[in-house]
């Protein structure tokens, strides 16, 4: 059996929204929804929550996930890199249990509306394609990033790395390439690649296109999500 581990990161110290991972929609917290979705997967065979909080740990276990150890506070800060808690998690599991998953399915609670069938589809596609180091879910941007600006002083300028002038941005959007943004629906990491290269995603990243979803980074995002759910637009 292929060892496929779902990892749900849930640190407690969010500055933008207090206890962001415990916000609720339809009576369930983001944390609970992520665990329940992982449990519905036909391919994921273990679910672990990486958290620095005893409170979050107890809730996670109640919802059906494992929390075999807490994440150190030193790697649970606003500026902590995902790579830090993955390194901690993999090393602890190997040292304590001799367990090493083949793939990690990264499910961020802040993208709470997901379907297990879509996660399974991503897993199947990634495992089938041996030429990729990782997978990231993306959605098409409503406006091409080629039509976005920087602000320098009080002046608008095209993004500095694009070979465009300000007049170029008046062209119709159809004349620009489509661009995509990561949306947190599902990421997949090859553990073997991560341990050998010390890179989460590497240069060969499989794009997994999903319908647009709302990733919660602010109260405005949260209100928008609830409004769209009430109107059955998600």
What one-character-per-residue DSSP string does 90-110 give? Answer: HHHHHHHH----SEEEE--TT
The predicted-structure confidence for 104-139, as pLDDT tens digits, reads as follows 999 999 999 999 999 999 999 999 998 999 999 999
The predicted-structure confidence for 64-88, as pLDDT tens digits, reads as follows 999 999 999 999 988 889 999 999 9
Which domain covers residue 153, as residue numbers?
142-178
Same domain, 14 and 106: yes
Same domain, 160 and 188: no
CA distance 65 to 109: 13
When divided into structural domains, the chain yields a total of: 2
Same domain, 35 and 80: yes
**H or E stretch including 87?**
helix 82-97
- Other Cβ atoms within 10 Å of 231 Cβ, number: 8
Same domain, 50 and 92: yes
Same domain, 171 and 66: no
**Average pLDDT of the residues of the chain:** 92
Same domain, 188 and 121: yes
Query: Which tops the pLDDT comparison, 46 or 143?
Result: 46
pLDDT tier for residue 232 given thresholds of 50, 70 and 90: confident
The predicted-structure confidence for 28-58, as pLDDT tens digits, reads as follows 999 999 999 999 999 999 999 999 999 999 9
* Crossing angle between the packed helical segments 116-128 and 30-40, to the nearest 10 degrees: 60
Predicted TM-score of the model (pTM): 0.91
Cα-Cα-Cα-Cα torsion 11, 234, 209, 45, nearest 10 degrees, comes to: 50
State residue 233's pLDDT score. 63
Residues in contact with 185: Cβ distance below 8 Å, sequence separation at least 6, in sequence order: 111, 114, 118, 119, 137, 208, 210, 213
Tokens of 165: 């002038």
């Amino acid at each position: 059996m292929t060892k496929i581990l779902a990892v749900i990161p849930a640190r407690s110290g969010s500055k933008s929204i207090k206890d962001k991972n415990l916000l609720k929609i339809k009576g369930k917290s983001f944390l609970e929804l992520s665990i329940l979705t992982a449990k519905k997967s036909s391919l994921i065979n273990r679910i672990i929550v990486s958290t620095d909080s005893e409170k979050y740990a107890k809730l996670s276990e109640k919802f059906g996930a494992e929390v075999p150890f807490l994440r150190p506070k030193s790697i649970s800060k606003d500026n902590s890199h995902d790579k830090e808690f993955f390194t901690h998690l993999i090393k602890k599991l190997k040292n304590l249990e001799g367990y090493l998953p083949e793939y990690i399915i990264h499910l961020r609670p802040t993208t709470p509306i997901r379907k297990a069938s879509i996660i399974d589809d991503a897993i199947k596609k990634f495992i089938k394609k041996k030429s990729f180091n990782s997978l990231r879910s993306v959605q098409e941007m409503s406006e091409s990033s080629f039509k976005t600006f920087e602000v320098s002083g009080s002046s608008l300028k095209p993004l500095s790395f694009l070979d465009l002038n300000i007049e170029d941005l008046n062209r119709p959007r159809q004349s620009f390439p489509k661009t995509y943004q990561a949306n947190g629906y599902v990421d997949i990491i090859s553990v073997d690649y991560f341990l050998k290269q010390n890179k989460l995603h590497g240069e060969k990243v499989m794009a997994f296109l999903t319908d647009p979803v709302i990733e919660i980074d602010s109260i405005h995002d949260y209100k928008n999500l609830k409004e769209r759910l009430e109107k059955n637009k998600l």
